[in-house]
Amino acid sequence: MTSLLSKLELTAKPQQPTDKLTQRRNKLLERLTTQKEIIRCLLNNEVFSAFREVSKLDELTGQSIKEKVPRRVKPWFYKIQDQYFLEVRYGAKPLELAKNKHAIAVGDESRLNEVLDVVIDAVKAGELDTQLAAIRRVGAK
């Protein structure tokens, strides 16, 4: 059996490079996709519901089982005086899109989807990379 393995080229497991900026960009894109789903539900007069999987211990068998639990997702858009605004958030804080400007004036609710698509394209193009790079982890000094 050793002679068969000796014919193969054996290597250590290659590690995926973990680029913090790419991870943050992907996380933001994932959250923006969730916001797009919230907007779709708003425009179609549907109720949005999100779930996450939690591992729990089954009392009878003692095995770990995965259970879907509802989770609360806050919309990043809000309405003030018949006009909608959109904040792009990372975690609990809105990103500063320009100097002292954290929100995007959307106007009518029908434009929310269109504006969010532009934001998604901007994130994919790397236009928010400086803001994402400036984010510090909670508790980090």
Above 70 in pLDDT, residue 60?
Answer: yes
Q: pLDDT value at position 13?
A: 85
**Closest of 125, 138, 115 to residue 39, by C-alpha:** 115
**Closest of 124, 125, 138, 126 to residue 32, by C-alpha:** 124
Q: pLDDT value at position 140?
A: 58
Above 60 in pLDDT, residue 112?
Answer: yes
Q: pLDDT value at position 9?
A: 86
Q: How far apart are CA 21 and CA 123, in angstroms?
A: 11
